[in-house]
Amino acid sequence: MNYLVIIPARGGSKGIKNKNIKLLKGKPLINYTIEEARKVFDDSKIYISTDSIEIKNIVEDAGIKVPFIRPEELATDTANSRDVVLHAINHYEKKNDLILDYIILLQPTSPFRNSKNIMDSLTLWNKNIDMVVSVKETKSNPYYTLFEENSAGLLIKSKKSDFTRRQDIPKVWELNGAIYLINALSIKSKKIHEFNKVVKYEMDEISSLDIDNKLDWLFAETVSEYLKK
């Protein structure tokens, strides 16, 4: 089957300046994802989608050719992941005169997702589903610890239940942002939130770390030290 690995790396970042190329223990953040992807896939299958010349230069210094600079309209705060993916798909399919079967989307903000995670998730893929997505078991369970405010301004359980013990509640997972295996036909025809055939790939707490803010970054530095031991 035909596939493409997409690593989206926008230059702008509000939470952490230049986050995707900020040095984490001496190495640009995006390089963690590139290195693990190269353990599984050929370089020709890896597309970095970026609007930043600086990111392009750092990626190419690492040995990966950046095929294009992302258009401005796909580099704003309001640009969505689907449009970024479709742009990369269209570029690759036209360049190689083929139709892709699926996409492997790897966000550079997951530095502890490794090649084994990627390979294990690939075993779950089949052409009859919309997506395989990486998750972690959530601590914030809607049956037990999550609440919403009703029209009277009172807190009510987010999901009604009669559970009194945490160990009795159903498991709930949250997307960790590390791995998305996406059916190319599905993403061409509908939005990701419309996917109804989705399979989970569960990851542990450390490999699930997604860096979004400064606190996440500090935690990532601590984890990096821990993993060296």
87-131 confidence digits (pLDDT tens): 999 999 999 999 999 999 999 999 999 999 999 999 999 999 999
pLDDT above 70 (res 229): no
All domains of the chain in start order, with CATH? 3-136+173-228 (3.90.550.10)
pLDDT above 80 (res 14): no
37-54 confidence digits (pLDDT tens): 999 999 999 999 999 999
64-89 confidence digits (pLDDT tens): 999 999 998 888 777 789 999 999 99
* Top-confidence residue, 13 or 206: 206
Query: What per-residue confidence (pLDDT) applies to 141?
Result: 87
Task: Work out the mean pLDDT of the chain and round it to a whole number.
Answer: 94
Percentage of residues of the chain with pLDDT beyond 90: 82
DSSP string across the chain: --EEEEEE--S--SSSTTGGGSEETTEEHHHHHHHHHHTTS-GGGEEEEBS-HHHHHHHHHTT-----BPPGGGSSTT--HHHHHHHHHHHHHHHHT---SEEEE--TT-TT--HHHHHHHHTT--TTSSEEEEEEE-SS-TTTT-EEE-TTS-EEESS-----SGGGSPP-EEEEEEEEEEEHHHHHHS-GGG---EEEEE--TTTT----SHHHHHHHHHHHHHHH-
pLDDT above 70 (res 200): yes
Q: What is the pTM of this model?
A: 0.93
